[in-house]
């Protein structure tokens, strides 16, 4: 056989092997799904069990399938061969699954509500989700009563973990939520055994209020005062998407009389910059709105870039909305200071080296507007992927503004030590 023919044979065998791998990969992915969030499989089992007694309802036979194949906002992804192909890139996140059936087990109504709000992306943003979670936990704690033969400090943690699993099933937890929950669990285990139950619950709710106040609200106030020093009159400030901290910084600077103009860079599918734009322009700040691809043309006019963060990693990298890394890269190239405003409670102990290891895909209801979602979903060869986050390497970041000061990204790992704690 000539070299050509041997090459062709090799290619054919390789293609056949790929196809054969896709079949067990599909089987493995179907087996992976249960391990992802057992919540969802159990809820889908409940759906199919509920389908049995629902014979009186119209259309009993295909009820499980029809429950799957409806309602544009929450549809389960059946992993067919073509879908398995597209998800190869982000297959370790798994398919996006939305349990649309009733919550399994005794989940508090506030958590059920919150889970729906997270799943439908009604509340987004690290700070917002954390505050919403903590507020919901306050209701859960107030409605909790210690069962006999155990104490609040031991049992409440398990009770809360059960609720947290439901939330995680709706949408993966953010680092801010994770840190806040860690903090609450420590507070619970430290609560006094001898205290009467209602007092202990009130004390916990108060501690939660303090956490929100100290680590988010007051931290934001300190950050905006610190950031004010970096803003001069006549500056052109660039910001990406929408960060609650940066919004507060800009509004505060404007209220303090600084003259500056803002360029809001936005990107699909979330298009969060529009909200920021309306907020800033109704406050009287001069704004420009561009999409991310237009950035290179306009970046030369920028004096300073402010962005927010979802979390900070211990090597100084910043994990934030997809697109921030590109903005950072361009700013770095032109020596424009790239400033990240981030509260200390978002610090995460891990280190990621790229955006692939940990990420989240936007659900279809967010990626595609409802009008065209049905045609797009029925396309067999089309797969829509929208990773929500990306990683900005520490070399592109000039400074991080936290409530303990302005620090270079390389010193981020010393934050817990500087705050006098073991963990953040």
With CB under 8 A as the rule, give the number of residues binding another protein.
75
* 102 near another protein, judged by CB under 8 A: yes
- Please state the closest distance from residue 61 (CB atom) to another protein, in A: 4
Comparing CB distances to another protein, the nearer of 82 and 386 is 386
Taking CB under 8 A as the binding criterion, the range among 79-87, 119-127, 341-349, 388-396 that sits at the site for another protein is 119-127
DSSP state of 396: G
Half-sphere exposure of 260 (CA within 13 A, CB side): 29
By CB under 8 A, residue 380 contacts another protein: no
Nearer to another protein, 266 or 359 (CB): 266
Residues 130-149 that bind another protein (CB under 8 A): 131-132, 135-136, 138-139, 143-149
Within a 10 A sphere around the Cβ of 283, how many other Cβ atoms?
13
- Which residue intervals of 323-363 are DSSP H helices? 324-333
Residues 6 or more apart whose Cβ sits within 8 Å of residue 328: 305, 307, 338, 392, 396, 397
DSSP per-residue codes, 231-271: --TTEEEEEES--HHHHHHHHHHHHTT--EEEEEEE-TTT-
Find, among 280, 252, 256, the residue nearest to 266 by Cα: 280
The reply to whether 217 sits near another protein by the rule CB under 8 A is: yes
Which residues between 224 and 253 bind another protein (CB under 8 A)? 241-244, 248, 251-252
What's the rounded Cα separation, in Å, for the pair 396 and 394?
5
Task: Give the residue among 188, 174, 187, 185 at the shortest CA–CA distance from 133.
Answer: 174
Give the nearer residue to another protein in terms of CB position, either 145 or 381. Answer: 145
Residue 75 C-beta: closest distance to another protein, Å:
12
Among 266, 272, 343, 390, contact with another protein (rule: CB under 8 A): 272
Binder among 7, 17, 268, 274 for another protein (CB under 8 A) = 274
Determine phi and psi for 375, rounding to 5 degrees: -65, -40
Q: Distance of CA 170 to CAs 41, 271, 333, Å?
A: 13, 22, 39
CA 376/CA 138 separation, integer angstroms: 41
Minimum CB–partner distance for residue 344 and another protein (Å): 16
Q: Which of residues 326-355 bind another protein (CB under 8 A)?
A: none
Tokens of 261: 């103009």
Question: Which residues from 26-55 bind another protein, rule CB under 8 A?
Answer: 50, 53-55
Which residues have a Cβ under 8 Å from the Cβ of 1 and sit 6 or more positions away? 9
Residue among 10, 13, 48, 70 that touches another protein (CB under 8 A): 70
Residue 284 as a binder of another protein (CB under 8 A): the answer is yes
d(CA 198, CA 409): 44
Would you say 120 or 187 has its CB closer to another protein?
120
Looking up tokens 């896709």, which residue turns up? Answer: 22
Tell me whether residue 92 or residue 274 sits nearer to another protein (CB atom). Answer: 274
CB of 31 to another protein, least distance (A): 27
Q: What are phi and psi of 179, to 5 degrees?
A: -65, -40
Tokens for 72?
A: 């544009």
Residues in region 147-186 near another protein by CB under 8 A: 147-150, 155, 159
379's tokens: 């396309």
Among the listed ranges 59-67, 185-193, 259-267, 341-349, the one in contact with another protein (CB under 8 A) is: 59-67
Q: Does 188 bind another protein (CB under 8 A)?
A: no
Q: E strand or H helix at 199, and its extent?
A: helix 197-211
CB 368 within 8 A of CB 96: no
Residue nearer to another protein on the CB measure, 84 or 141? 141
CB of 214 to another protein, least distance (A): 14
- Choosing from 3, 35, 56, 335, the residue that interacts with another protein (CB under 8 A) is 56
Closest to another protein by CB, 216 vs 317, is 216
Q: Which CB atom, from 154 or from 421, has the smaller least distance to another protein?
A: 154
- Min separation Cβ 71 and another protein, Å: 6
- In the complex with another protein, which residue's Cβ is closer, 32 or 54? 54
CB 173: neighbour CB atoms within 10 A?
17
Residue 275 sits in the site that holds another protein (CB under 8 A): yes
One of 107, 227, 263, 330 touching another protein (CB under 8 A):
107
Q: How far is the CB of 90 from another protein (least distance, A)?
A: 22
Nearest residue (CB) to another protein, 156 versus 424: 156
126-142 and 175-189 are packed helices; what angle lies between their axes, rounded to 10 degrees?
30
- C-alpha 256/C-alpha 258 separation (Å) is 6
Q: Verify binding: residue 109, another protein, rule CB under 8 A.
A: yes
């Amino acid at each position: 056989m000539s070299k050509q023919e041997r090459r062709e044979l090799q290619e054919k065998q390789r293609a056949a092997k790929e196809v054969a791998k896709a079949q067990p990969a599909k089987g493995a992915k179907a087996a992976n799904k249960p391990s992802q969030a057992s919540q969802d499989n159990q809820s889908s089992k409940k759906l199919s069990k509920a389908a049995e007694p629902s014979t009186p309802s119209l259309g009993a036979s295909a009820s499980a399938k029809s429950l799957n194949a409806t309602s544009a906002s929450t549809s389960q992804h059946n992993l067919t061969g073509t879908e398995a192909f597209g998800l190869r890139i982000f297959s370790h996140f798994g398919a996006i699954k939305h349990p649309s059936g009733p919550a399994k087990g005794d989940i508090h109504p506030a958590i059920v509500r919150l889970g729906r709000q997270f799943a439908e992306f009604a509340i987004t943003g690290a700070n917002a989700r954390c505050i919403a979670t903590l507020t919901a936990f306050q209701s859960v704690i107030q409605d909790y009563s210690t069962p006999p033969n155990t104490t609040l400090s031991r049992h409440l943690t398990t009770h809360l973990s059960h609720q947290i699993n439901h939330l995680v099933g709706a949408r993966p937890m953010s680092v801010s939520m994770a840190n806040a929950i860690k903090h609450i669990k420590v507070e619970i285990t430290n609560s006094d055994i001898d205290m009467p139950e209602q007092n202990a619950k009130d004390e916990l709710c108060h501690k939660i209020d303090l956490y929100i106040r100290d680590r988010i609200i007051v931290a934001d106030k300190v950050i905006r005062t610190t950031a004010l020093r970096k803003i001069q009159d006549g500056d052109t400030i660039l910001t990406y998407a929408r960060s609650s901290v940066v919004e507060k910084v800009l509004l505060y600077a404007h209220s303090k009389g600084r003259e500056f103009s803002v360029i809001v860079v936005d990107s699909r599918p979330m298009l969060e910059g529009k909200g920021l734009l309306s907020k800033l322009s109704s406050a009287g700040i001069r704004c420009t709105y561009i999409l991310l691809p237009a950035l290179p043309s306009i970046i030369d006019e920028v004096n300073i870039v402010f962005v927010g963060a979802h979390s900070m990693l211990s090597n100084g990298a910043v994990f934030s909305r997809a697109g921030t890394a590109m903005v950072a890269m361009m700013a770095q190239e032109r020596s424009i200071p790239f400033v990240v405003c981030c509260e200390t409670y978002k610090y995460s102990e891990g280190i990621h080296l790229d955006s692939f290891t940990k990420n989240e895909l936007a659900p279809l209801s967010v990626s595609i507007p409802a009008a065209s979602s049905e045609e797009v979903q029925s396309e067999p060869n089309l797969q829509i992927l929208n990773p929500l986050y990306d990683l900005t390497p520490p070399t592109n970041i000039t400074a991080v503004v936290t409530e303990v000061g302005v620090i270079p990204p390389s010193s981020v790992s010393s934050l817990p030590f500087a705050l006098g704690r073991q963990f953040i």
